[in-house]
Structure 1
Amino acid sequence: MAAPARRLVRPTLFICDLQEKFRNAIYEYPKVIATTQKMLKASQILDIPVFATTQLRGKLGETCSELGLDAQDGVKTQAHADKSAFSMWVPEVQKAFNALGSEKRECIIVGIESHICVTQTTLDLLREGHKVYVLADGVSSCNPQEVPIALNRLRTEGAVVTTSESFLYECMGDAGIGEFKQISGLVREYSSKTKESLQALCKF
C-alpha cells in the first residue's frame, strides 16, 4: 500500500506584526503569541515556509523575541519585512513568496490586528487566488469587539476561519504520514495553552 500523502501540500505561514510595542495594547496578546509559537514549531516539523512582517519597526519595535524568528537556533523565514502598508503583501514578501513557485498555496495567517493588517493581507492573498486560513486562536486586536466583525467579514470574502489544531490535522489529513507522531505530540504539549487561547479569543 502506498504511503499516505498530506491533505494540504503547499501550506505557508504568515505572521503579521507581532512586535514588542503591542504587548500592552492588544487584547490577550500572550495567547496570540502562544498560538504562533505552536505554529512555528509545526512549521519546522512539516517544512512550512514562514513569512513575517513588522509595522514601522523603528517606532513599534522588533518582532517579539520569544518567537525566535531568524535567531541562530530559531525559525528561518523566507522574508521578514518591515512595512508601512497595512497588508503583508508588500514587494519584499511577494518576491520571496513567488520564489517558492507558481502554484497556488494554502496561506495560514496569525497576528494583529484582525480588522486591519490581518484583514488586508487576507484580501490580497484571496485576490491572488490562494486559499487563506485565518486562525481564530491566533489573531486579535486592541479592541476585542473588532475581532468577530473582522472574522465574519473574511468568511464572506472566502477565507476559512478555523483554529490552529483544526488546521494542523487538516494539513496532515492522515494519521499514517511520517510527521503525525510529532504533530500529535505538539498538540498535546500545547493542549492547555490552546484551551486558554480558545477561551480568550474565540468566545465572541
Structure 2
Amino acid sequence: MAKIGRLSTKDTVLLLCDMQEKFRPNIFQFTNIVSNAARLLQASRVLGIPPILTEQYPKGLGPTVPELGAEDLKAHAKTSFTMMIEEVQKELEALGNPKRAILCGIEAHACIACTTFDLLEKGVEVHIVADAVSSRSQTDRLFALSRLKQSGAYLTTTEGVLLQLVQDAKHPNFKEVLTAAALFHHIGLDFMGLEETSLPKCL
C-alpha cells in the first residue's frame, strides 16, 4: 500500500529548529514563522506529542526567541546544519524512535533540508510545516520546499497539521487545540508568494 502521509498523535515528534534572536531581522516572515511554531508547540502539549528543540551556535546567534514559548524545553546546541546530532538522536531513542516528525523552523535550505534528508534516510516520515519554515530569502525557501518534496517529505500547513491530528470535531481536545493554536486560514498565501490555485503545482 502506498504511503499517504497520514498524521497521528502516536509515534510522532515535533522538531523545533533554531528559531533564535539573531535570525529575527533577517528571516523572511520571521514573526509568522515563530507564531505558527508556537501554536504547534502548544497543541503538541495538549495532545501529548513530545517536542525537541535545537539552537544553532547559540553563543553567536543567541537563544531561542521567548515568543516560541519553549522556555521549559532543553535546547540542544549544535554547529551542524542537521538537527540529528548525538543528543537529539538519544532523545529520539528514549521516545522509542518515533515514526513521524513534524518539522518547523529555519533555515529551509540549510538546517531544515539537512534534517529532513537525515530523517528520511532513517525511514522517518517527515511533515514539513510550510508556513512555519523559512529562510533569509523567499527564493531559497520556495526552492528548498520543492526540493524536499522531491525527496519524499510531505508539505503541510499549521492548520493542516492540527486538523489531521484531531481528526474529528468530537475529539476530546478539539476545542482546546484550536483555541491554543488560534486557528486561521489566510496567513499562507501572501507568505507563500503564490496564488492558491498554483500552490499544488509549484510545491
Does the residue aligned with 1:63 lie in a helix, a strand or coil?
coil
Partner of 2:3: none
Partner of 2:152: 158
* TM-score, length-scaled by structure 2: 0.86
The 1:101/1:157 distance shift into structure 2, 3 A limit, reads same
Give runs of ≥4 in structure 1 deviating > 6 Å.
none
* Contact 2:12–2:49 under 8 Å retained in 1: yes
- RMSD of aligned alpha carbons: 1.7
* TM-score, length-scaled by structure 1: 0.86
Does the residue aligned with 1:195 lie in a helix, a strand or coil?
coil
Unaligned runs of 5+ in 2: 1-6, 195-203
AA paired with 2:149?
R
Please point out which of 153, 172, 183 is paired with 2:177.
183
Tell me by how many angstroms 1:181 deviates.
2.1
Any residues of structure 2 matched to 1:1-204 within 5 Å, and which?
7-69=8-70, 71=71, 76-77=72-73, 79-102=74-97, 104-187=98-181, 189-191=182-184, 195-196=186-187, 198-204=188-194
AA paired with 2:60?
K
**1: CA distance between counterparts of 2:11 and 2:38?**
20
Work out the percentage of aligned pairs sharing the same amino acid. Answer: 35
**1: CA distance between counterparts of 2:64 and 2:190?**
22
Tell me by how many angstroms 1:203 deviates.
2.2
Tell me by how many angstroms 1:66 deviates.
1.7
Tell me by how many angstroms 1:163 deviates.
0.4
AA paired with 1:114?
A
Partner of 1:3: none
**1: CA distance between counterparts of 2:107 and 2:170?**
37
AA paired with 1:83?
K
Does the residue aligned with 2:123 lie in a helix, a strand or coil?
coil
